[in-house]
Amino acid sequence: MESQELKKELAATLDARRELGPEYEAALVDSFVEKVDTQVRRRLAEDRLAAARGPRPPAESPAGNFGERFGFAIVTLVLAIPLSAIGAAQAHLPGLIVAWLGIVGVNFVHASKSLRRRGPDPQD
């Protein structure tokens, strides 16, 4: 879009030079260069601001927070081992079931928060 605006400005400057004559050429060129300079400075400021804010997570990506979800799944599976052992040792089968219901519940809550943050799937 910026490129199109610059092309229009250049075309307008050239048309004005044809109409006004060569005596206004320096003023027209200065005006055009000033517009280009302003646009370049604005673009640099936007780039610096974006760099200062840091990288944004890809919102459009279907795997947007894959690393977070994968890490959470690994941690819960690692913790499932001692929780299963403790539950089974203390209350046998009912303790094991309660431990796994807790693990599944925590993963379900985490997954539902992840889906809410991401929003509805645009392909649905």
Q: What does the pLDDT look like over 36-47, one tens digit per residue?
A: 888 888 888 888
Q: Are residues 47 and 98 in the same domain?
A: no
Domain limits at 88?
60-124
Q: Are residues 66 and 120 in the same domain?
A: yes
pLDDT digits (tens, 9 = 90+) for 66-94: 778 888 888 888 888 998 999 999 999 99
**Alpha helix positions (H), 21-65:** 25-53
Query: Phi/psi of residue 121, each to 5°?
Result: -75, 125
Query: Phi/psi of residue 19, each to 5°?
Result: -75, -40
Which band of pLDDT confidence, cut at 50, 70 and 90, is reported for residue 57? low
Give the span between the Cα atoms of 68 and 30, in whole angstroms.
53
Which band of pLDDT confidence, cut at 50, 70 and 90, is reported for residue 61? low
Q: Are residues 86 and 114 in the same domain?
A: yes
Q: Are residues 64 and 123 in the same domain?
A: yes
Q: Are residues 47 and 64 in the same domain?
A: no
Q: Are residues 76 and 124 in the same domain?
A: yes
Q: Are residues 68 and 42 in the same domain?
A: no
Closest to 103 (Cα-Cα) out of 82, 119, 123, 121? 82
CA-to-CA separations, 59 to 8, 48, 82, 108, 119, in angstroms, rounded: 34, 21, 36, 22, 9
Q: Are residues 118 and 78 in the same domain?
A: yes
Q: Are residues 71 and 37 in the same domain?
A: no
Give the span between the Cα atoms of 124 and 115, in whole angstroms.
14
Q: Are residues 64 and 29 in the same domain?
A: no
Number of domain units in the chain = 2
CA 40 to chain centre: 24
Is 107:73 a contact under the CB 8 Å cutoff? yes
Burial group, residue 52, by CB count within 10 angstroms (0-12, 13-18, 19+): exposed
Q: Are residues 45 and 65 in the same domain?
A: no
